[in-house]
Amino acid sequence: MKNLNGYPKSHCPVRPYHLWDEQNQKRVRSRYFTSVRNACDRAMSEVKWYGKVGETITVFDTRYGRMVGQYTRRVKTLTIYEPKPIN
């Protein structure tokens, strides 16, 4: 496994979307997904229900080491960051 853009790279073609805990700098265990939508939905629920204030969960694609979305828990809201698509 090799780091790409700060995220670990994996050769898992079946479930390429993983969740990354920004505070601990490691993957969220057992959170690997086949689609971007499922990964983003789970990241949002992880932050909303289990996260502490200020916690950030990132969804990344292990094939390319690219961030897909980022979710941060605030006191009364969730901050969502989605990067612009690469053309």
Residue 38 pLDDT: 93
How many independent structural domains does the chain possess?
A: 1
pTM of the model: 0.78
Q: Is residue 87 part of a domain?
A: no
Q: Is residue 56 part of a domain?
A: yes
pLDDT tens, the chain, 87 aa long? 446 566 666 667 788 899 988 888 888 877 789 999 999 999 999 898 888 899 999 998 888 888 888 999 988 888 888 776 655
Strands, DSSP E only, in 38-77? 56-61, 66-73
Range of the domain at 12: 3-81
Pairing, β 17-21 against β 7-8? unpaired
Residue 1 pLDDT: 44
